């Protein structure tokens, strides 16, 4: 056997023992910058470059930290589960992209002599390191820190040369099969650390909080005799002592109180930020400082569209601030320890962290788990080493409340060994590992992508039993965390509210972590220079998983998606709701804090126009409690009115400015009490309140005034007041001065990722098999009535006897308006649910601006759009489109009462609904959207496509997980849409 240095089961033998990532006053020399770089397709090139005398003048330069694939060497590749190489551990292919690095540095003035360490914070996937020609050893564990002792190799004067060979594939790749881009290189920083004689090697902080007495316990241990000082608490004690501090302020994600501390010897001072908090499982409930915690979490990969996993401090800060702004209180570091700075930010800004070990072996599932490293004793030392390096590096962060052994690695003895090690080393934090459903080795029951009904069963303690009664009893006593749910791929996820309701109902359910935080689309350009975000397959990969890499709540450029806005709404820590007796209930869902940091403001809108506003006196509300407040005295309104009550930050917080909205509720107030919250509902399902004003000041569609004189047959056309109907097609060709083409029944929608559902219950194949993407329209007749016309069309696919009988009834109304009643009746067998049911019109492309009164400003489908509110909104047609990385149905506005599409030379078209309708306006058709692979494939076709729907199928989360919940399914059933059209 010809095993290479990177093909070993064993952990790196010459690295220093792991320790905490410390902020020390000992000199540190960051070595980041532009290093000399040479790329090769194989890993067995000559090693002469490691000699200082080697001439690298011909080499390129590559930034450190960075991934070489994002700088023109090799190419990114994406697979979810599959390994992109044959399974034959620990061997890897001869084709093994390799980067040789060289970097010369000098010690700065005043650098002390004596011991020094060279620290790599992350090199993917394995590195062999030399200093001044001396081999230091290898680094493995891509997202784990490796330190080498360089005391003897370092030159105090003159040039020092670091030489590093990094290989893309190593034995470590078998245990790093996370669902993400395969990207290589030194992607986190490299530092030289002076280690003064008598300095501090490691520090361990234990800072607990007794919620009954308000006291803190503090034990700061160091590997050498040292003094611990916490000036604010008057602490000045020997390291190793356990101190009881009668009164401390606890740390929580809501109030991330930190105390500055130092640990000093004569030779070195380490600075710490201490948070007092106690994590415990009490009676089957996970508590922080004695209170049950509810995780409103997300799974976060490190990602930037240009830098990959080589994220900067600014990127991390953006993530933390965006999470806080969207009511997220917890992060699972899927599926590896993040850059250490990220955890410092979580401590400081307040986020609970599930810190996950760098471990995933999911691709062994494809071979029936044969040879799974999680269960093969040859891997035990390497896996325990990974856990050890995770825990030792991150042990001092108050934000880290749970350790996770890793992700999707099946089950096996090595996981048990990791758990044993972690439990013994750090009994203060519970352990989690999702994939072993027996929970044999862990303290928390966790699962991913469970349907709502199954989560509810777990909440009630009624889950299906395990075969082993002892394990079953143990698991039944555990808290439950939905470690991944609500797959945020493309349009969606739908159904967030249903999960949250359960988490807030059953004490055993302690919330979960939405999959995932950010789309991993890599910035790319078309040949003509237009920017888009690339996904799997865009780099010519033989094996890939397409756009499954783009399943985040943020677009790759960190623009929040509609899904993140929905999540913010669902995660509201304060709920404002009608009290049922004409007032409001304010419920404080915080666990540790009151609501004194929030101001409550209200605004009254009449027909979408603000007519009155004010502040609401709420006073403080203790955590977990509710108060009732009176509604403000409201002025009389003439039209459909809504009261919106918002809870906003009273003062600036580190993560948002004063005025930032934390929670809000909208109530219709034109109806008589009791009030009902304006909950999202399928469009068209509920009639408008009787107080809706006549559209445009004229008579509404339901009570028309006919003007029969205006109906006239004229050479194949029917003149219908302001409209002209083509008798050959049955479609309107003019409305006022505008050339139009419609209505045409619209059933197809460009399948969403959730309709396509690569890992779930896919509707798209059923829809295509039924021919819903190729419906034909046959005109059965146009009859002229006294005050309008009736057009009958049968819409059906080839090779099927099922179809939809569609009747369009036109009536001329007063005020140059046209009433249109669309009746859709299933005829024969049709698959259910249908994608959507509506009608579409082509309008001139110059009409490129839309105003509407309905829910907005964002898109909404039956089970999404929770963040939207009824109002009067305006957008350009371009801005109505949501640029999902893989083009799909998007941009629908829900519960629209009326809309105008205007522009160009002035004027346009107005549509009013007898009941609220769905509105979609695009510069291309649904069919074009369906054909596109990237947003850059879409070009405006010169027309504005206006779609008015009576309903859409829900969105669900079947791209990975459960499909659409029953109330949101669009069954084929007789459907009715009543509209008024008017040229402006
Ligand atoms: C999970 C896995 C994640 C991701 C997700 C789908 O099974 O843990 O890493 O692959 O599915 O996007």
Q: Are 707 and 720 in contact (CB under 8 A)?
A: no
> Atom 10, ligand 1: which residue's CA is nearest?
179
> Is residue 672 very low, low, confident or very high in pLDDT (cuts 50, 70, 90)?
very low
Q: Is the pLDDT of residue 679 over 50?
A: no
- Residue 511 has a pLDDT of 98
Question: Cis bond leading into 857, ω under 30°?
Answer: yes
Say which CATH architecture domain 708-983 belongs to.
Distorted Sandwich (2.70)
Strands (E), 314-405: 330-332, 352-356, 400-404
Query: Could you tell me where in the chain the CATH 3.20.20.80 domains are found?
Result: 281-568
Strands (E), 359-478: 400-404, 431-432, 445-448
Q: Are 407 and 434 in contact (CB under 8 A)?
A: yes
> CB count, 10 Å around CB of 32?
15
Q: How does strand 803-813 pair with strand 817-827?
A: antiparallel
The whole-number average pLDDT for the span 572-580 is 97
By most ligand atoms within 8 Å of CB, the mutation choice from 515, 517, 962 for ligand 1 is: 515
Q: Residue 646 pairs with which residues in a beta bridge? A: 601, 664
By most ligand atoms within 8 Å of CB, the mutation choice from 408, 432, 517 for ligand 1 is: 408
Q: How does strand 445-448 pair with strand 480-485?
A: parallel
End-to-end CA distance of the chain: 81
Q: Is the pLDDT of residue 505 over 50?
A: yes
> Atom 4, ligand 1: which residue's CA is nearest?
179
Count, residues in the chain: 984
Residue 961, CB half-sphere, CA atoms under 13 Å: how many?
31
Q: Which CATH fold topology does 281-568 show?
A: TIM Barrel (3.20.20)
Query: Could you tell me where in the chain the CATH 2.70.98.10 domains are found?
Result: 708-983
H-assigned helices in 863-935:
926-931
> What percent of the chain clears pLDDT 70, i.e. is strictly above it?
96
Q: Please give the DSSP secondary-structure letter assigned to residue 283.
A: T
Task: Name the CATH superfamily, with its identifier, for domain 580-677.
Answer: Immunoglobulins (2.60.40.10)
> Is residue 691 very low, low, confident or very high in pLDDT (cuts 50, 70, 90)?
very low
Residue 169 CA to ligand 1 center (angstroms) comes to: 22
What counts of helices (H) and strands (E) characterise the chain? 11, 60
Q: Mind listing the pLDDT tens digit for each residue in 58-115?
A: 999 999 999 999 999 999 999 999 999 999 999 999 999 999 999 999 999 999 999 9
Given the CA of residue 335, which atom of ligand 1 is nearest to it? 9
Instruction: State which CATH number among 1.10.8.620, 3.30.2350.10, 2.60.40.10, 3.40.630.10 fits the domain covering 203-278.
Output: 2.60.40.10
Residue 758 CA to ligand 1 center (angstroms) comes to: 12
Residue 408 CA to ligand 1 center (angstroms) comes to: 8
Given the CA of residue 434, which atom of ligand 1 is nearest to it? 8
Q: Is residue 599 within a helix (H) or strand (E), and if so which, with residue range?
A: strand 598-606
| Phi-psi category of residue 483: left, alpha or beta, with phi > 0 → left and psi -120 to 50 → alpha | alpha
Q: Is the pLDDT of residue 688 over 80?
A: no
- Residue 13 has a pLDDT of 85
Q: Are 410 and 435 in contact (CB under 8 A)?
A: yes
| Phi-psi category of residue 908: left, alpha or beta, with phi > 0 → left and psi -120 to 50 → alpha | left
| 904 vs 653, more confident | 653
Angle between helical axes of 562-570 and 496-505 (0-180°, round to 10):
20
Q: Are 155 and 144 in contact (CB under 8 A)?
A: no
Round to whole Å and give the CA distance between 394 and 388. Answer: 10
Q: Are 66 and 310 in contact (CB under 8 A)?
A: yes
Residue 15 CA to ligand 1 center (angstroms) comes to: 32
Q: Are 264 and 563 in contact (CB under 8 A)?
A: no
Q: Please give the DSSP secondary-structure letter assigned to residue 453.
A: H
Round to whole Å and give the CA distance between 640 and 897. Answer: 10
SS (H, E, C) 733-762: EEECCEEEEEEEEECCCCCCHHHHCCEECC
| 124 vs 678, more confident | 124
> CB count, 10 Å around CB of 531?
12
| Phi-psi category of residue 802: left, alpha or beta, with phi > 0 → left and psi -120 to 50 → alpha | beta
Q: How does strand 788-797 pair with strand 775-785?
A: antiparallel
Q: Is the pLDDT of residue 761 over 90?
A: no
Instruction: Please provide the CATH number assigned to the domain covering 5-194.
Output: 2.60.120.260
Smallest Cα–Cα separation from 498: which of 480, 486, 488? 486
Q: Is the pLDDT of residue 509 over 70?
A: yes
Residue 111 CA to ligand 1 center (angstroms) comes to: 47
Q: Please give the DSSP secondary-structure letter assigned to residue 227.
A: E
User: What token pair was written down for 465?
Assistant: 């039993």
Q: Mind listing the pLDDT tens digit for each residue in 394-442?
A: 999 999 999 999 999 999 999 999 999 999 999 999 999 999 999 999 9
Round to whole Å and give the CA distance between 785 and 809. Answer: 9
> What percent of the chain clears pLDDT 90, i.e. is strictly above it?
94
Q: Please give the DSSP secondary-structure letter assigned to residue 560.
A: B
By most ligand atoms within 8 Å of CB, the mutation choice from 177, 358, 484, 488 for ligand 1 is: 484
SS (H, E, C) 161-201: EEEEEEECCCHHHHHECCCEEECCEECCCEEEEECCCCCCC
Q: How does strand 723-726 pair with strand 717-720?
A: antiparallel
Residue 386 CA to ligand 1 center (angstroms) comes to: 21
User: What token pair was written down for 940?
Assistant: 């405006």
> Is residue 868 very low, low, confident or very high in pLDDT (cuts 50, 70, 90)?
very high
To the nearest whole number, what is the mean pLDDT of the chain? 95
Round to whole Å and give the CA distance between 709 and 224. Answer: 101
Round to whole Å and give the CA distance between 608 and 340. Answer: 48
- Residue 1 has a pLDDT of 59
Q: Mind listing the pLDDT tens digit for each residue in 211-247?
A: 999 999 999 999 999 999 999 999 999 999 999 999 9
- Residue 673 has a pLDDT of 35
Give 455-485 as a DSSP string: HHHHHTT-PPPPSSHHHHHHHHTS-EEEEEE
Given the CA of residue 516, which atom of ligand 1 is nearest to it? 12
Residue 962 CA to ligand 1 center (angstroms) comes to: 14
> Atom 6, ligand 1: which residue's CA is nearest?
960
> CB count, 10 Å around CB of 579?
17
Query: Could you tell me where in the chain the CATH 2.60.120.260 domains are found?
Result: 5-194
pTM > 0.85: yes or no: yes
Round to whole Å and give the CA distance between 566 and 298. Answer: 13
> Is residue 680 very low, low, confident or very high in pLDDT (cuts 50, 70, 90)?
very low
* CA 660 from centroid of its chain's CA atoms: 21
Residue 983 CA to ligand 1 center (angstroms) comes to: 50
> Atom 11, ligand 1: which residue's CA is nearest?
960
Given the CA of residue 759, which atom of ligand 1 is nearest to it? 6
Round to whole Å and give the CA distance between 682 and 274. Answer: 50
State the Cα torsion 16-17-23-25 to the nearest 10°.
Answer: -50
H-assigned helices in 495-550:
496-505
By most ligand atoms within 8 Å of CB, the mutation choice from 80, 513, 536 for ligand 1 is: 80
- Residue 754 has a pLDDT of 98
SS (H, E, C) 924-953: CCHHHHHHCCCHHHCCCCCEEEEEEEEEEC
Q: Is the pLDDT of residue 693 over 50?
A: no
Residue 181 CA to ligand 1 center (angstroms) comes to: 13
Q: Is the pLDDT of residue 698 over 70?
A: no
> Atom 9, ligand 1: which residue's CA is nearest?
179
Break the chain down into helix, strand, coil percent, rounded to 5. 15, 40, 45
Q: Are 611 and 605 in contact (CB under 8 A)?
A: yes
Smallest Cα–Cα separation from 49: which of 116, 98, 122, 111? 98
Residue 572 CA to ligand 1 center (angstroms) comes to: 26
> Is residue 149 very low, low, confident or very high in pLDDT (cuts 50, 70, 90)?
very high
User: What token pair was written down for 461?
Assistant: 């303690």
Q: Is the pLDDT of residue 706 over 60?
A: no
Smallest Cα–Cα separation from 387: which of 372, 400, 406? 406
Q: Is the pLDDT of residue 760 over 90?
A: no
Tell me which residues are annotated as active site: 408, 484
Ligand 1 contacts (CB < 6 A) are 80, 179, 334-335, 407-408, 448, 484, 487, 515, 551, 960
Cα-flanking dihedrals φ and ψ of residue 170, to 5°? -150, 175
Residue 599 CA to ligand 1 center (angstroms) comes to: 39
> Is residue 251 very low, low, confident or very high in pLDDT (cuts 50, 70, 90)?
very high
By most ligand atoms within 8 Å of CB, the mutation choice from 81, 177, 178, 179 for ligand 1 is: 179
> Atom 3, ligand 1: which residue's CA is nearest?
179
């Amino acid at each position: 056997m010809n095993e290479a240095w990177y093909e070993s089961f064993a952990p790196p033998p010459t690295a220093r023992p792991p320790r905490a990532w410390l902020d020390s006053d000992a000199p540190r020399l960051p070595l980041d910058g532009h290093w000399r770089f040479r790329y090769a397709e194989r890993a067995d090139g000559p090693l002469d470059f490691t000699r200082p005398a080697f001439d690298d003048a011909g080499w390129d330069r590559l930034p450190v930290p960075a991934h070489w694939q994002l700088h023109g060497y090799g190419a990114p590749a994406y697979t979810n589960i599959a390994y992109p190489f044959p399974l034959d551990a620990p061997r890897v292919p001869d084709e093994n992209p390799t980067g040789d690095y060289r970097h010369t540095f000098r010690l700065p003035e005043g650098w002390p002599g004596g011991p020094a360490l060279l620290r790599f914070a992350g090199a993917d996937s394995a590195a062999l390191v030399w200093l001044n020609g001396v081999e230091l050893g290898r680094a493995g564990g891509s997202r784990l820190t490796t330190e080498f002792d360089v005391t003897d190799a370092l030159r105090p004067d003159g040039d020092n040369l670091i030489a590093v060979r990094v290989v893309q594939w190593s034995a470590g790749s078998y245990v790093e099969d996370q669902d993400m881009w395969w990207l290589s290189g030194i992607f986190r920083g490299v530092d030289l650390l002076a280690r003064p004689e008598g300095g501090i090697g490691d520090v361990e902080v234990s800072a607990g909080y007794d919620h009954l007495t308000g006291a803190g316990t503090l034990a700061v241990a160091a590997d050498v005799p040292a003094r611990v000082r916490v000036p604010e608490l008057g602490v000045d004690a020997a390291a190793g002592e356990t101190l009881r501090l009668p009164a401390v302020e606890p740390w929580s994600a809501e109030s991330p109180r930190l105390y500055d501390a130092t640990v000093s010897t004569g030779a070195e001072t380490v600075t710490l930020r201490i948070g007092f908090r106690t994590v415990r499982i009490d009676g089957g409930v996970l508590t922080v400082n004695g209170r049950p915690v509810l995780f409103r979490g997300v799974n976060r990969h490190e990602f930037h569209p240009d830098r990959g996993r080589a994220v900067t401090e600014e990127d991390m800060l953006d993530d933390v601030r965006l999470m806080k702004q969207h009511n997220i209180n917890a992060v699972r570091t899927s599926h590896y320890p993040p850059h250490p700075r990220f955890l410092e930010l979580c401590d400081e800004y307040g986020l609970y962290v599930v810190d996950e070990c760098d471990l995933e072996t999911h691709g062994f599932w494809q071979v029936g788990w044969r040879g799974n490293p999680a269960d093969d004793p040859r891997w035990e030392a390497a896996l325990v080493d990974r856990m050890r390096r995770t825990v030792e590096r991150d042990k001092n962060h108050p934000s880290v409340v749970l350790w996770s052994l890793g992700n999707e690695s099946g089950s096996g003895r090595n996981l048990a060994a990791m758990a044993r090690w972690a439990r013994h080393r750090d009994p203060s934090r519970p352990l989690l590992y999702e994939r072993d459903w027996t929970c044999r080795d862990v303290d928390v029951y966790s699962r991913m992508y469970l349907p709502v009904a199954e989560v509810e069963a777990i909440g009630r303690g009624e889950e299906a039993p395990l075969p082993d009664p002892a394990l079953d009893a143990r698991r039944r006593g555990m808290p439950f965390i939905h470690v991944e749910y609500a797959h945020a791929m493309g349009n969606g996820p739908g159904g967030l509210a249903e999960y949250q309701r359960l988490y807030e109902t059953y004490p055993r359910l302690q919330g979960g972590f939405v999959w995932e935080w950010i789309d991993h689309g890599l910035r790319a350009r078309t040949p003509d220079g237009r920017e888009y975000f690339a996904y799997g397959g865009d780099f010519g990969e033989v094996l890939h998983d397409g756009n499954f890499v783009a399943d985040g709540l943020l677009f790759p450029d960190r623009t929040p998606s509609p899904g993140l806005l929905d999540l913010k709404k669902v995660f509201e820590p304060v709920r404002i709701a009608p009290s049922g007796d004409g007032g409001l209930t304010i419920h404080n869902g915080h666990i540790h804090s009151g609501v004194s940091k929030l101001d409550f403001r209200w605004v009254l809108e009449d027909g979408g126009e603000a007519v009155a506003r004010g502040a609401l006196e709420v006073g403080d509300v203790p955590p977990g409690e509710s108060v009732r407040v009176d509604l403000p005295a409201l002025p009389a309104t003439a039209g459909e009115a809504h009261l919106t009550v918002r809870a906003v930050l009273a003062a600036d917080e580190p993560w948002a400015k004063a005025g930032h909205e934390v929670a809000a509720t909208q109530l219709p107030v034109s109806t008589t009490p009791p009030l009902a919250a304006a909950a999202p509902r399928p469009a068209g399902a509920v009639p408008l309140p009787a107080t809706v004003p006549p559209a445009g000041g004229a008579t509404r569609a339901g009570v028309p005034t006919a003007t029969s004189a205006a109906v006239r047959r004229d050479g194949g056309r029917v003149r219908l007041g302001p409209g002209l109907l083509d008798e050959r097609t049955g479609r309107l060709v003019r409305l006022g001065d505008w050339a139009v083409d419609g209505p045409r029944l619209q059933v197809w929608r460009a399948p969403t990722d959730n309709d396509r559902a690569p890992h779930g219950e896919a509707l798209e194949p059923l829809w295509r098999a039924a021919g819903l993407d190729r419906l034909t329209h046959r005109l059965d007749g146009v009859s002229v009535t006294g005050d309008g016309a009736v057009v009958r069309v049968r819409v059906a696919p080839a090779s099927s006897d099922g179809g939809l009988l569609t009747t369009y009834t036109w009536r001329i109304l007063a005020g140059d308006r046209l009433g249109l009643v669309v009746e859709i009746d299933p005829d024969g067998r049709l698959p259910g649910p249908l994608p959507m049911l509506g009608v579409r019109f082509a309008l001139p492309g110059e009409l490129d601006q839309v105003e509407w009164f309905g829910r907005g400003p964002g898109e909404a489908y039956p089970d999404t759009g929770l963040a939207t509110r009824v109002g009067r909104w305006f957008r350009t047609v371009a801005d109505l489109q949501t640029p999902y990385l893989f083009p799909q149905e998007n941009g629908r506005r829900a519960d629209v009462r009326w809309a105008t599409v205007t522009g160009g030379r002035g004027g346009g078209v107005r549509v009013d609904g007898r009941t609220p309708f769905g509105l979609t306006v695009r510069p291309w058709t649904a069919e074009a959207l369906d054909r596109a692979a990237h947003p850059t494939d879409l070009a405006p076709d010169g027309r504005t496509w206006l779609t008015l729907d009576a309903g859409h199928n829900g969105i669900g989360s079947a791209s990975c997980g459960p499909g659409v919940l029953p109330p949101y399914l669009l069954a084929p059933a007789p459907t009715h849409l009543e509209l008024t059209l008017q040229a402006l």
